[in-house]
Protein backbone atom coordinates (compact mmCIF):
# COMPACT_ATOMS: atom_id res chain seq x y z
CA UNK A 1 0.00 0.00 0.00
CA UNK A 2 2.82 2.37 0.81
CA UNK A 3 4.42 1.51 -2.45
CA UNK A 4 1.30 2.40 -4.37
CA UNK A 5 0.93 5.61 -2.42
CA UNK A 6 4.44 6.74 -3.19
CA UNK A 7 4.02 5.80 -6.82
CA UNK A 8 0.81 7.79 -7.01
CA UNK A 9 2.43 10.72 -5.25
CA UNK A 10 5.32 10.69 -7.69
CA UNK A 11 2.97 10.63 -10.62
CA UNK A 12 1.05 13.57 -9.15
CA UNK A 13 4.27 15.51 -8.62
CA UNK A 14 5.27 14.73 -12.15
CA UNK A 15 1.92 15.96 -13.45
CA UNK A 16 2.17 19.08 -11.31
CA UNK A 17 5.64 19.79 -12.62
CA UNK A 18 4.43 19.29 -16.15
CA UNK A 19 1.49 21.64 -15.56
CA UNK A 20 3.77 24.21 -13.98
CA UNK A 21 6.13 24.04 -16.94
CA UNK A 22 3.20 24.36 -19.31
CA UNK A 23 1.94 27.39 -17.41
CA UNK A 24 5.36 29.01 -17.56
CA UNK A 25 5.56 28.33 -21.27
CA UNK A 26 2.07 29.74 -21.79
CA UNK A 27 2.97 32.79 -19.72
CA UNK A 28 6.14 33.29 -21.76
CA UNK A 29 4.16 33.08 -24.99
CA UNK A 30 1.62 35.53 -23.61
CA UNK A 31 4.39 37.93 -22.63
CA UNK A 32 5.93 37.58 -26.08
CA UNK A 33 2.55 38.11 -27.74
CA UNK A 34 1.87 41.11 -25.50
CA UNK A 35 5.25 42.56 -26.44
CA UNK A 36 4.45 42.09 -30.13
CA UNK A 37 1.11 43.83 -29.65
CA UNK A 38 2.81 46.73 -27.87
CA UNK A 39 5.30 47.08 -30.72
CA UNK A 40 2.50 47.02 -33.28
CA UNK A 41 0.53 49.56 -31.23
CA UNK A 42 3.57 51.82 -30.95
CA UNK A 43 4.19 51.50 -34.69
CA UNK A 44 0.53 52.26 -35.42
CA UNK A 45 0.59 55.29 -33.14
CA UNK A 46 3.77 56.54 -34.84
CA UNK A 47 2.24 56.12 -38.29
CA UNK A 48 -0.94 57.84 -37.10
CA UNK A 49 1.10 60.73 -35.72
CA UNK A 50 3.07 60.97 -38.97
CA UNK A 51 -0.15 60.92 -40.98
CA UNK A 52 -1.66 63.61 -38.75
CA UNK A 53 1.40 65.82 -39.17
CA UNK A 54 1.29 65.27 -42.92
CA UNK A 55 -2.38 66.23 -43.08
CA UNK A 56 -1.73 69.35 -40.99
CA UNK A 57 1.14 70.33 -43.26
CA UNK A 58 -1.01 69.77 -46.35
CA UNK A 59 -3.78 71.87 -44.78
CA UNK A 60 -1.32 74.71 -44.06
CA UNK A 61 0.07 74.48 -47.59
CA UNK A 62 -3.46 74.60 -48.99
CA UNK A 63 -4.31 77.67 -46.93
CA UNK A 64 -1.09 79.34 -48.11
CA UNK A 65 -1.90 78.39 -51.69
CA UNK A 66 -5.35 79.96 -51.39
CA UNK A 67 -3.86 83.10 -49.85
CA UNK A 68 -1.26 83.33 -52.63
CA UNK A 69 -3.97 82.76 -55.23
CA UNK A 70 -6.13 85.54 -53.77
CA UNK A 71 -3.12 87.86 -53.75
CA UNK A 72 -2.41 87.00 -57.37
CA UNK A 73 -6.03 87.69 -58.30
CA UNK A 74 -5.98 91.04 -56.48
CA UNK A 75 -2.72 92.03 -58.18
CA UNK A 76 -4.16 91.01 -61.55
CA UNK A 77 -7.32 93.04 -60.90
CA UNK A 78 -5.26 96.06 -59.84
CA UNK A 79 -3.11 95.72 -62.95
CA UNK A 80 -6.22 95.45 -65.11
CA UNK A 81 -7.70 98.57 -63.50
CA UNK A 82 -4.47 100.52 -63.96
CA UNK A 83 -4.20 99.32 -67.55
CA UNK A 84 -7.80 100.39 -68.20
CA UNK A 85 -7.14 103.83 -66.73
CA UNK A 86 -3.95 104.14 -68.79
CA UNK A 87 -5.85 103.09 -71.91
CA UNK A 88 -8.58 105.65 -71.26
CA UNK A 89 -5.93 108.30 -70.70
CA UNK A 90 -4.20 107.39 -73.96
CA UNK A 91 -7.48 107.52 -75.84
CA UNK A 92 -8.25 110.88 -74.30
CA UNK A 93 -4.77 112.20 -75.09
CA UNK A 94 -5.11 110.94 -78.65
CA UNK A 95 -8.45 112.68 -79.00
CA UNK A 96 -7.04 115.95 -77.67
CA UNK A 97 -4.02 115.70 -79.97
CA UNK A 98 -6.35 115.27 -82.93
CA UNK A 99 -8.37 118.27 -81.77
CA UNK A 100 -5.17 120.30 -81.45
CA UNK A 101 -4.00 119.30 -84.92
CA UNK A 102 -7.41 120.12 -86.41
CA UNK A 103 -7.44 123.49 -84.64
CA UNK A 104 -3.93 124.32 -85.86
CA UNK A 105 -4.82 123.27 -89.40
CA UNK A 106 -7.87 125.54 -89.34
CA UNK A 107 -5.79 128.45 -88.05
CA UNK A 108 -3.15 127.82 -90.69
CA UNK A 109 -5.78 127.67 -93.41
CA UNK A 110 -7.35 130.87 -92.14
CA UNK A 111 -4.00 132.64 -92.07
CA UNK A 112 -3.18 131.49 -95.59
CA UNK A 113 -6.49 132.75 -97.02
CA UNK A 114 -6.99 136.01 -95.12
CA UNK A 115 -5.18 139.12 -96.36
CA UNK A 116 -2.79 140.72 -93.94
CA UNK A 117 -4.31 143.87 -92.55
CA UNK A 118 -2.20 146.72 -91.36
CA UNK A 119 -2.99 147.34 -87.73
CA UNK A 120 -2.98 150.93 -86.59
CA UNK A 121 -0.12 151.59 -84.27
CA UNK A 122 -1.24 152.26 -80.75
CA UNK A 123 0.65 154.86 -78.87
CA UNK A 124 -0.53 153.57 -75.51
CA UNK A 125 -2.52 150.74 -73.99
CA UNK A 126 -5.10 151.00 -71.31
CA UNK A 127 -4.59 149.40 -67.93
CA UNK A 128 -7.24 146.84 -68.81
CA UNK A 129 -5.35 145.91 -71.98
CA UNK A 130 -2.09 145.54 -70.09
CA UNK A 131 -3.69 143.47 -67.37
CA UNK A 132 -7.22 142.07 -67.94
CA UNK A 133 -7.55 141.52 -64.19
CA UNK A 134 -7.75 145.27 -63.63
CA UNK A 135 -11.26 145.38 -65.06
CA UNK A 136 -12.22 142.32 -63.02
CA UNK A 137 -10.75 143.84 -59.85
CA UNK A 138 -12.94 146.94 -60.14
CA UNK A 139 -15.90 144.83 -59.03
CA UNK A 140 -14.27 143.01 -56.10
CA UNK A 141 -11.61 145.33 -54.73
CA UNK A 142 -8.52 143.16 -55.32
CA UNK A 143 -7.25 141.05 -58.19
CA UNK A 144 -7.00 137.96 -56.01
CA UNK A 145 -10.56 138.21 -54.72
CA UNK A 146 -11.81 139.10 -58.18
CA UNK A 147 -10.14 136.05 -59.72
CA UNK A 148 -11.44 133.84 -56.92
CA UNK A 149 -14.98 135.11 -57.50
CA UNK A 150 -14.61 134.47 -61.23
CA UNK A 151 -13.53 130.86 -60.52
CA UNK A 152 -16.51 130.37 -58.21
CA UNK A 153 -18.93 131.68 -60.83
CA UNK A 154 -17.45 129.54 -63.62
CA UNK A 155 -17.55 126.31 -61.55
CA UNK A 156 -20.89 126.87 -59.82
CA UNK A 157 -22.96 123.68 -59.85
CA UNK A 158 -20.03 121.36 -60.54
CA UNK A 159 -19.87 118.21 -58.41
CA UNK A 160 -17.22 118.18 -55.61
CA UNK A 161 -16.15 121.76 -56.32
CA UNK A 162 -15.95 124.38 -53.57
CA UNK A 163 -13.32 127.00 -54.40
CA UNK A 164 -12.49 129.16 -51.38
CA UNK A 165 -8.77 129.71 -51.96
CA UNK A 166 -5.91 129.11 -54.40
CA UNK A 167 -4.34 126.28 -52.39
CA UNK A 168 -6.32 123.35 -50.91
CA UNK A 169 -9.31 123.97 -53.20
CA UNK A 170 -7.15 122.90 -56.16
CA UNK A 171 -5.26 119.94 -54.64
CA UNK A 172 -7.14 117.13 -56.47
CA UNK A 173 -7.22 118.65 -59.97
CA UNK A 174 -11.03 118.70 -60.22
CA UNK A 175 -11.23 122.50 -59.98
CA UNK A 176 -8.93 122.86 -63.01
CA UNK A 177 -11.00 120.29 -64.91
CA UNK A 178 -14.27 122.05 -64.03
CA UNK A 179 -12.89 125.46 -65.00
CA UNK A 180 -11.67 124.17 -68.37
CA UNK A 181 -14.85 122.13 -68.89
CA UNK A 182 -16.87 125.34 -68.69
CA UNK A 183 -15.08 126.42 -71.90
CA UNK A 184 -14.20 123.07 -73.50
CA UNK A 185 -16.94 120.60 -72.48
CA UNK A 186 -16.16 118.18 -75.33
CA UNK A 187 -12.56 117.71 -74.13
CA UNK A 188 -13.16 117.16 -70.42
CA UNK A 189 -15.33 114.12 -69.48
CA UNK A 190 -16.10 115.65 -66.10
CA UNK A 191 -18.78 113.12 -65.12
CA UNK A 192 -16.16 110.34 -65.33
CA UNK A 193 -13.68 112.03 -62.99
CA UNK A 194 -13.25 111.41 -59.27
CA UNK A 195 -11.32 113.33 -56.64
CA UNK A 196 -9.31 110.23 -55.61
CA UNK A 197 -7.52 109.97 -58.97
CA UNK A 198 -5.50 113.17 -58.67
CA UNK A 199 -2.87 112.33 -61.27
CA UNK A 200 -5.44 111.66 -63.97
CA UNK A 201 -7.28 114.89 -63.16
CA UNK A 202 -4.15 117.04 -63.34
CA UNK A 203 -2.88 115.27 -66.48
CA UNK A 204 -6.21 115.79 -68.21
CA UNK A 205 -6.48 119.45 -67.20
CA UNK A 206 -2.90 120.35 -68.18
CA UNK A 207 -3.07 118.46 -71.49
CA UNK A 208 -6.37 120.14 -72.37
CA UNK A 209 -5.00 123.58 -71.53
CA UNK A 210 -1.87 122.93 -73.58
CA UNK A 211 -4.02 121.88 -76.55
CA UNK A 212 -5.37 125.44 -76.75
CA UNK A 213 -2.04 127.13 -76.11
CA UNK A 214 -1.92 127.51 -72.31
CA UNK A 215 1.52 126.50 -71.06
CA UNK A 216 1.74 124.20 -68.05
CA UNK A 217 3.56 125.94 -65.21
CA UNK A 218 2.65 123.52 -62.40
CA UNK A 219 4.37 120.24 -61.55
CA UNK A 220 2.01 117.25 -61.43
CA UNK A 221 4.06 115.38 -58.81
CA UNK A 222 4.14 118.39 -56.49
CA UNK A 223 0.40 118.94 -56.88
CA UNK A 224 -0.41 115.26 -56.24
CA UNK A 225 1.71 115.08 -53.09
CA UNK A 226 0.61 118.30 -51.42
CA UNK A 227 -2.70 118.83 -49.66
CA UNK A 228 -2.03 122.58 -49.51
CA UNK A 229 0.02 123.53 -52.58
CA UNK A 230 1.68 126.94 -52.82
CA UNK A 231 -1.09 129.37 -53.77
CA UNK A 232 1.15 131.67 -55.83
CA UNK A 233 1.93 129.30 -58.75
CA UNK A 234 -1.66 127.99 -58.63
CA UNK A 235 -3.03 131.52 -58.94
CA UNK A 236 -0.57 132.31 -61.75
CA UNK A 237 -1.78 129.29 -63.71
CA UNK A 238 -5.43 130.26 -63.16
CA UNK A 239 -4.59 133.77 -64.39
CA UNK A 240 -3.18 132.23 -67.58
CA UNK A 241 -6.47 130.36 -68.08
CA UNK A 242 -8.45 133.55 -67.46
CA UNK A 243 -6.36 135.59 -69.89
CA UNK A 244 -6.75 132.95 -72.59
CA UNK A 245 -10.53 132.67 -72.42
CA UNK A 246 -11.43 136.15 -71.17
CA UNK A 247 -9.41 138.60 -73.29
> 31 pLDDT exceeds 80?
yes
Domain boundaries, the chain: 1-84, 127-245
Whether residue 241 contacts residue 173, with contact meaning beta carbons closer than 8 Å, is answered with no
Q: How confident is the model at residue 69 (pLDDT cuts 50, 70, 90)?
A: confident
Whether residue 167 contacts residue 173, with contact meaning beta carbons closer than 8 Å, is answered with no
Whether residue 174 contacts residue 181, with contact meaning beta carbons closer than 8 Å, is answered with no
**Max CA separation in the chain (angstroms):** 174
20-30 pLDDT tens trace: 777 778 788 88
86-145 pLDDT tens trace: 787 777 777 777 877 877 887 787 777 765 555 444 443 444 455 667 776 666 667 888
Which H or E run includes 133?
A: helix 133-140
Give the integer Cα–Cα distance in Å for 191 and 145.
28
Q: How confident is the model at residue 55 (pLDDT cuts 50, 70, 90)?
A: confident
213-242 pLDDT tens trace: 999 999 999 999 999 999 999 999 999 999
Give the integer Cα–Cα distance in Å for 237 and 234.
5
Top-level CATH class of 127-245? mainly alpha
What pLDDT does residue 108 have?
82
What pLDDT does residue 175 have?
96
* Burial tier of 167 (Cβ tally within 10 Å: 0-12, 13-18, 19+): middle
> 1 pLDDT exceeds 60?
no
What pLDDT does residue 151 have?
94
What pLDDT does residue 137 have?
67
What pLDDT does residue 92 have?
74
What pLDDT does residue 80 have?
80
151-192 pLDDT tens trace: 999 999 999 999 999 999 999 999 999 999 999 999 999 999
**Torsion angles phi and psi, residue 122, rounded to 5:** -95, 130
Amino acid sequence: MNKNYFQTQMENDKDNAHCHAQEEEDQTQLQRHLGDLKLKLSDTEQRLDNETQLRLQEAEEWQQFKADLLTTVRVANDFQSEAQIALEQLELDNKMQKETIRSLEQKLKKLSTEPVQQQPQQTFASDERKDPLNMLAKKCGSKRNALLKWCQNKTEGYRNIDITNFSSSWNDGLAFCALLHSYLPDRIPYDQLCEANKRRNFSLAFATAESVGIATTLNINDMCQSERPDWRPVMSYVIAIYKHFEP
